[in-house]
Amino acid sequence: MKKIWICLLLVVFSMSVVGCDVKEQESSNDNQIEQSNKQEDTNAQEEEKDNLGYVEKETVDAMVTKFNTKIVNDSGLGPVSTDEVSLKDSTYRYEITDGLSLIVVPETMTDSASKDIVSSMAIYIEKDYQDDPQGLAYARLLIMTNNPQISYDEAQALIEEAQTLKSQQLTSNNGKGISVRYLEADTHLEYQIIRNYQ
């Protein structure tokens, strides 16, 4: 009888050892699959970001100066007033004309336009001025300022695509380092240009 009990105990013990080993292997396989999935997600995000393209980092002062240069050289519109800058909600706001403003959002707000790196820029149009064609003209110029390789026609196409994507809250992008978002609120419209850095 003792031999039977000993044999049974050995069988149970060896099954539990094998079972533990199988569980450890399953756990190890699950961890490997999880790590593999995380790596695939990271690779997909990097590939998607690469497809957006990149632009060089620029300060608020540099981008506002480039925008004004673009306005003066390529249009009959008036430049952005840099005399009075309002700092509101972690943004720099410059008046262009009645009902139109330039908003610059830095990556980190330090209140130093000569040091703050631009994250995004927007043409802000009050609803009362939404039919003024100047707002759209400034938006096109702002797109071309954020990447000089973008042509007038490409800028117009980005705006039109952003307008169709507004209900989905998506941006348009042509792989040249910026994305364009069109927002419509009760009081205003915005053409946002989001800069993509490496």
| Same domain? 48 vs 69 | no
Higher pLDDT, 11 or 183: 183
Question: Under DSSP, is residue 106 helix (H, G, I), strand (E, B) or coil?
Answer: strand
Of the candidates 30, 52, 74, which is a domain's last residue? 52
For 10-21, what is the mean pLDDT?
53
What residue numbers bound the domain in which 24 lies? Answer: 1-52
| Same domain? 134 vs 150 | yes
| Same domain? 64 vs 15 | no
Q: Are 176 and 185 in contact (CB under 8 A)?
A: no
- The model's pLDDT over 115-144, given as tens digits with 9 standing for 90+, comes to 999 999 999 999 998 888 999 999 999 999
Residue 28 CA neighbour count, 13 Å, CB half: 6
| Same domain? 29 vs 84 | no
The mean-pLDDT minimum among 45-54, 125-134, 178-187, 189-198 falls in: 45-54
For 162-178, what is the mean pLDDT?
93
Q: How many CB atoms lie within 10 A of CB 148?
A: 11
| Same domain? 73 vs 166 | yes
Higher pLDDT, 30 or 116: 116
Full-model pTM:
0.75
Q: Which residues contact 23 (CB under 8 A, 6 or more apart)?
A: none
- Give me the residues paired with residue 178 across strands: 195
| Same domain? 123 vs 64 | yes
Instruction: Report whether pLDDT(192) > 90.
Output: yes
Instruction: Report whether pLDDT(174) > 80.
Output: yes
Mean of per-residue pLDDT scores for the chain: 84
Binned at pLDDT 50, 70 and 90, residue 197 comes out as very high
Which domain CATH number covers 107? 3.90.1150
| Same domain? 37 vs 114 | no
Of the candidates 36, 52, 68, which is a domain's last residue? 52
Domains held by the chain: number: 2
Binned at pLDDT 50, 70 and 90, residue 182 comes out as very high
| Same domain? 87 vs 125 | yes
| Same domain? 126 vs 81 | yes
Instruction: Report whether pLDDT(43) > 50.
Output: no
Higher pLDDT, 167 or 42: 167
| Same domain? 14 vs 35 | yes
| Same domain? 106 vs 149 | yes
Q: Are 194 and 120 in contact (CB under 8 A)?
A: yes
Of the candidates 10, 31, 52, which is a domain's last residue? 52
Instruction: Report whether pLDDT(34) > 80.
Output: no
Residues 19-30 as b/e (b if ≥16 CB within 10 A, e otherwise) read eeeeeeeeeeee
| Same domain? 64 vs 45 | no
Binned at pLDDT 50, 70 and 90, residue 108 comes out as very high
Q: How many CB atoms lie within 10 A of CB 37?
A: 10
- The model's pLDDT over 50-74, given as tens digits with 9 standing for 90+, comes to 678 999 999 999 999 999 999 999 9
From first CA to last CA, the distance across the chain in angstroms is 75
